[in-house]
Amino acid sequence: MIDANANTFPDLVELDALRLTVIVDNEVDFMTSVPKALGLTTQAQRLFTDKRNLDKEKSKGLTAEQAGSEARDTDSKDGAIRTIAFDFGDVCCGAHGLSILVTGIKGDIEHRMLFDTGPQPANFLENAKRLEIEFEKIEVIVLSHWHVDHSGGMMAAVDKIREARHGLSPVVVDLHPDRPDQRGVCLTKPGDGPPELAEYVAWGKDPSFEGLEKAGAKVAKNVLAHTICEGFFGVSGVIPRRTSYETGIPNHARWSDDNKTWSLEPEIMDERYVVARVKSKGIVVLTGCSHAGVTNVCQDAKMAFQQPQLHQYPDRQENNNELFFVVGGFHLAGGSVETRIKETVRDMQEINPLFMAPGHCSGWRAKAALEQAMPGRVISLGVGSDFFIAPEDSSSA
């Protein structure tokens, strides 16, 4: 079926590999097992094998080559011992927000973009330091939507990238032009008449266009679907609302500086998702919070690659148009949206993504329900996770 409202990405490049490095997420989980197809290396695993962490006092009988290798020698009476000094202070910390570094690889070409920046600078910068993020290679920052738990670290990210790039082209910050003065939630319960006191919680202001430009970024305002980084990644426009049950966030509100008043804004229409397409794997979708509904997000992304009548995709493989991995916030935590879990699970079974990593605002109830209905497909997102998605004959970079 052709849908004229669907987002399309006619010039999206098919990648040889895709790497997702989670800089900010609510959860810290480096223990839960993950299918090999997702090529996961946790930050803790890297700390286990990093030769810099060799404990010399507890290691013996090692040659220089053995000490520097990633092989682990078992203890024996006369054998060599290699002991890693693991410091929990080196592990990334969780925070209520999301930030994922996305690296696309095709041949000998790489492009990197940053999807959201978490709620505040300190957490973003510290985790980025612990993950040894190469800021000089980040070309674009994409903000999924105007909420501070996704934009709070943006000014710090722009500053860090500007310093690291040493006069190279400025980082592009890809934004929806409808920036609110401020957003928050209404705490007042609805009643028969107007409340005596309407209570709101304000979340603070997002970075301004002017502030980002002053910090050295090139601001790109986009309403429609488009690609970035030479077609490596697609950024959606408005996410069509098709389901009957995904009706936004009922108590979400928007502040107006001009009118000095709050107004309810259940539909966050500025939210966008990001897609990439990997050879022999399929479509990877990154969603910030899925305020439009994760079903709507996935339906739209899937439809974008099943409408050849609208656009020509000359390199498309017919078996490479399904959803391989859906990553990010599913926004199914909280009393007003947990009622949608049953319908969401039903429809996600129909959409049939191979794997899902519901993080940030997804909530444990939704994760448990999805795992029960689709066993083995639900992955912990987990701050510090590094997913390397590539054909089976490719090796991790």
Q: What is the pLDDT at residue 312? A: 46
Q: Find the farthest-apart pair of alpha carbons in the chain and give their distance in angstroms, rounded.
A: 82
| pLDDT digits 0-9 by tens, 274-288 | 999 999 999 999 999
Can you tell me the mean pLDDT for 184-205? 83
Q: What is the pLDDT at residue 63? A: 65
User: Which two three-digit tokens encode residue 299?
Assistant: 């339906």
Residue 5 has pLDDT above 80, yes or no: no
Whole-number percent of the chain with pLDDT over 90: 78
User: What is the band of 314 on the pLDDT scale with cuts at 50, 70, 90?
Assistant: very low
Greater confidence (321 vs 279) lies with: 279
Q: What is the pLDDT at residue 78? A: 57
Decide the pairing of beta strands 323-329 and 261-264.
unpaired
| pLDDT digits 0-9 by tens, 15-24 | 999 999 999 9
User: What is the band of 134 on the pLDDT scale with cuts at 50, 70, 90?
Assistant: very high
3-state secondary structure the chain: CCCCCCCCCCCCCEECEEEEEEEECCCCCCCCCCCHHHCCECHHHHHHHCHHHECHHHCECCCHHHHHCCCCCCCCCCCCECCECCCHHHCCCCCCCCEEEEEEEECCEEEEEEECCCCCHHHHHHHHHHCCCCHHHEEEEECCCCCHHHHCCHHHHHHHHHHHHCCCCCCEEEECCCCCCEEEEECCCCCCCCCCCCCEEECCCCCCHHHHHHCCCEEEECCCCEEECCCCEEECCCCCCCCCCCCCCCCEEEEECCCCEEEECCCCCCCCEEEEEECCCEEEEEECCCCCCHHHHHHHHHHHCCCCCCCCCCCCCHHHCCEEEEEEECCCCCCCCHHHHHHHHHHHHHHCCCEEEEECCCCHHHHHHHHHHCCCCECCCCCCCEEEECCCCCCCC
User: What is the band of 307 on the pLDDT scale with cuts at 50, 70, 90?
Assistant: low
Q: Where are the domains of the chain?
A: 14-51+88-384
Whole-number percent of the chain with pLDDT over 70: 89
Residue 195 has pLDDT above 80, yes or no: no
Can you tell me the mean pLDDT for 141-165? 98
Architecture per CATH, domain 14-51+88-384, reads as 4-Layer Sandwich (3.60)
CA distance linking residue 113 with residue 233, whole number of Å: 9
Greater confidence (118 vs 63) lies with: 118
Phi, psi (degrees; rounded to nearest 5) at 313: -120, 85
Q: What is the pLDDT at residue 267? A: 95
Least confident window among 47-61, 245-259, 336-350? 47-61
pTM: 0.91
Can you tell me the mean pLDDT for 259-269? 96
Q: Residue 373, SS3?
A: helix
User: What is the band of 57 on the pLDDT scale with cuts at 50, 70, 90?
Assistant: confident
CA distance linking residue 224 with residue 239, whole number of Å: 10
| pLDDT digits 0-9 by tens, 340-384 | 999 999 999 999 999 999 999 999 999 999 999 999 999 999 999
